[in-house]
Amino acid sequence: MTIKELIAALEEKIGKRAEVVFHPKHPADMITSQADVSKAKLLLDWDPQVSLEEGIGKVVEWYLKEQSWAKDIKTD
């Protein structure tokens, strides 16, 4: 999933358009990621219980419920 696809999924769940601001690439930015949970399956017998889309929905639902205090968390 690309960042643009992730933003689109969030926009859909939230029901608002994001204000996306592009900046020059930082030298530490990753170009790609080959995230793989197979090692967690092998070592921990772990399998994801929800899809990424469902997880996004759960995060948005939680935030909307808790935004009275969560909005004050600094993320920058």
Residue range 6-65, pLDDT digits in tens:
999 999 999 999 999 999 999 998 888 888 899 999 999 999 999 999 999 999 999 999
C-alpha dist (Å) from residue 34 to 15, 29, 37, 39, 43? 30, 14, 10, 13, 19
Long-range contacts of 59-64 (CB under 8 A, 24+ apart): 60/10, 60/13, 60/14
Structure tokens at 4: 């643009």
The owner of tokens 């996306």 is 20
pTM, full prediction: 0.70
- Domain limits, the chain: 1-18+50-76
